[in-house]
Chains A and B, each alone.
Chain A
Amino acid sequence: MAITSLPSLDGQELTILIQGRFDFGAHQDFRNAYESVSSTPQRYIVDLKDTTYLDSSALGMLLLLRDYAGGDDSMIRLVNCSSDVRKILAISNFEQLFNIA
């Protein structure tokens, strides 16, 4: 599991890349990924391209990010979801809270 955060050049956007399992073990790293950036991004992208697994703790972490990013006013996209990941997000109806691509 590795989590990388990449701010855009203008600092407006933050991409969080999650590799491997996205579960409770990623808790601290995931928080660090958005809490310890110097810029104040307007938009967040969670890139799940290399995410092999995602559990309900991960959904909880996404909710924490959503709260951090402004709750209902947050702009968060979950991108490059595999069909398995997409299914888990769908069962929880997270498309009501996140922009899923």
Chain B
Amino acid sequence: MSDIHIDSAVLAALQDVMEDEYPVLLDTFLVDSEERLLLLRQAQQEADAQNLRLAAHSFKGSCSNMGANMLAGLCKQLEEVGQREQLDLAAELIEQVEREFAIVRILFKSERQRYRH
């Protein structure tokens, strides 16, 4: 697994804490993240800087908890864009977030497969 995308040490810790519920946590994160992405896009389309900022902040928090460091970093930039109301920069950043999430999603799916054995 690529540590640039997912911090394996964090995953090990999560597994330790969650025990049997570890795969459920991974699933939950992925489902939840889809919703966050929807919220981000919606805020950008509505040019609602405040909502963009809040959605990015919230997403950033859960990404950091899950060890998705690069994704968390992108969310942080997006949060700052929202804060500074630089909505013209938002579309590009959201695309980056989506691309990164696609990678994270694959990595988590495989982690989930790996854990099953």
In the complex, A touching B, CB below 8 Å?
no
